[in-house]
């Protein structure tokens, strides 16, 4: 996240216009532009914990992480710079929340890559902001407008749910597999055995589907779930509560806020950060697993078959096995073995 994204490069073309403004950055931020942006005041709200971690080092309390923005945090801002995410529903959710808190007359800038669907911003907030495209560069669009009226935002209106076997899965915009179980997770679930025991860590838990199904199959497991996305953390907690399942749900950037050891780590790791392909989280997941697994502990992940995880698994664990596969996905498992004995010198 050190280099500027194309969207931030477009924003820099207009940076002179912001020197007297009190700016709120939000949306799919993927670099440190807010920390170096010259304005009367700069604040950031993000739903992504790893983005908060980076910016917090330089900006301290001027960066807020959470599912929704705090009214007091936003109230003094007169300008919103919103980075368009790849999920249209996520953008609708976040913009409704932010526009409901900002004052009428505040200026709004929406920026994003054309392939992300940023063009739809004009229509999505048309009832409250009349956006006009003011720049196009680096395959991005930049739109500008002013808040004419504020929407009503009620978090309860954004929750959805769907049934999976005998479970109720609770979801929010921006959560992976929001509308139903994805093929990869389904394949991973097919490898779970009933009556498993021990401590299980579900990294990148999304709506909490993997952990919840495991709990129903193996009621004696002790669950810990984690995700970097505030909406996913909220959805997982709601899914566990809706099904009477006990488990701890944590905000963590892979292992950043995880302590202790687990008998099994399961994951359907992401390989995108926003629109960009990124294997960083998955590689960190694999390489860091041995520190959180005892001898005999297992890492079980599902991934697109073309991704280079077998080599990484072998480098870290010494070997791996494929538990299941279809045309697109493979379920890999690696087990922590005993370290080789070193012969004592006579």
Residue keyed to tokens 């960083």? 280
pLDDT at position 101 is: 98
Q: What is the mean pLDDT of each run of 10 residues along the chain (346 residues)?
A: 85 95 96 96 97 95 97 96 95 98 98 94 97 96 98 97 94 87 92 94 95 94 97 98 97 96 94 58 93 97 91 95 94 86 51
Beta strand 264-267 with 272-273: parallel, antiparallel or unpaired?
Answer: unpaired
Which residues does 154 contact at the CB level (< 8 Å), separation at least 6?
none
DSSP state at residue 39: S
pLDDT at position 220 is: 94
DSSP state at residue 179: T
* 3-state SS assignment for residue 75: coil
* 3-state SS assignment for residue 135: strand
Domain boundaries, the chain: 6-153, 159-336
CA nearest to 190, candidates 163, 217, 169: 217
* 3-state SS assignment for residue 243: coil
pLDDT at position 280 is: 82
For residues 235 and 159, give the distance between their C-alpha atoms in angstroms, rounded to a whole number.
Answer: 9
CATH superfamily of 159-336: Vaccinia Virus protein VP39 (3.40.50.150)
Work out the angle at residue 335's Cα, subtended by the Cα atoms of residues 303 and 267, and round it to the nearest 5 degrees.
Answer: 30
CATH for the stretch 6-153: 3.40.50.150
Residue 256, phi then psi, degrees to nearest 5: -60, -35
Whether residue 91 contacts residue 121, with contact meaning beta carbons closer than 8 Å, is answered with: yes
Within a 10 A sphere around the Cβ of 196, how many other Cβ atoms? 16
DSSP 25-36: EEES--SSHHHH
CA 85 to chain centre: 11
pLDDT at position 98 is: 98
For residues 101 and 153, give the distance between their C-alpha atoms in angstroms, rounded to a whole number.
Answer: 9
CA distances (Å), origin 236, targets 185, 204, 333, 339: 15, 10, 24, 36
Taking each helix axis from N to C end, the angle separating 309-317 and 280-289, rounded to the nearest 10 degrees, works out to 20
Same fold, 6-153 and 159-336: yes
pLDDT at position 270 is: 76
Q: Which residues face 322 on adjacent strands?
A: 332
DSSP state at residue 336: P
DSSP 282-323: HHHHHHHHGGG--TT-EEEEEEETTSSHHHHHHHHHS--EEE
Q: Sign of torsion, CA 35 39 41 44?
A: negative
For residues 227 and 176, give the distance between their C-alpha atoms in angstroms, rounded to a whole number.
Answer: 11
């Amino acid at each position: 996240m050190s280099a500027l994204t194309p969207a931030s490069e477009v924003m820099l073309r207009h940076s002179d216009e912001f020197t007297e403004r009190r700016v709120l950055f939000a949306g799919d931020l993927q670099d440190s532009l807010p920390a170096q942006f010259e304005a009367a005041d700069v604040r950031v709200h993000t739903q992504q914990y790893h983005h908060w971690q980076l910016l917090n080092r330089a900006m301290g309390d001027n960066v807020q992480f959470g599912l929704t923005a705090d009214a007091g945090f936003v109230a003094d801002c007169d300008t919103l710079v919103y980075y368009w995410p790849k999920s249209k529903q996520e953008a609708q959710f976040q913009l409704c929340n932010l526009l409901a808190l900002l004052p009428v007359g505040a200026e709004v800038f929406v920026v994003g890559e054309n392939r992300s669907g940023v063009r739809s911003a004009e229509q999505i907030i048309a009832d409250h902001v009349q956006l006009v495209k003011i720049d196009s560069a680096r395959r991005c669009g930049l739109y500008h407008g002013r808040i004419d009226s504020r929407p009503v935002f009620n978090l309860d209106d954004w929750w959805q749910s769907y049934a999976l076997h005998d479970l109720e899965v609770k979801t929010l915009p921006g959560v992976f597999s929001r509308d139903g179980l994805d093929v990869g997770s389904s394949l991973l679930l097919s490898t779970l055995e009933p009556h498993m025991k021990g401590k299980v860590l579900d990294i990148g838990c999304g709506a909490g589907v993997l952990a919840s199904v495991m709990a129903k199959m193996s009621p004696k497991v002790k669950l810990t779930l984690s995700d970097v996305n505030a909406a996913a953390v909220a959805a997982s907690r709601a899914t566990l509560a809706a099904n009477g399942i006990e488990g701890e749900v944590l905000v963590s950037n892979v292992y950043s806020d995880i302590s202790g050891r687990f008998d099994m780590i399961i994951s359907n790791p992401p390989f995108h950060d926003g629109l960009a392909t990124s294997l960083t989280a998955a590689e960190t997941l694999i390489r860091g697993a041995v520190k959180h697994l005892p001898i005999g502990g297992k890492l079980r992940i599902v991934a697109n078959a073309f991704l280079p995880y077998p080599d990484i698994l072998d480098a870290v664990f010494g070997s791996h096995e494929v538990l299941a596969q279809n045309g697109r996905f493979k379920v890999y498992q690696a087990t922590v073995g005993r370290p080789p004995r070193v012969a004592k010198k006579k």
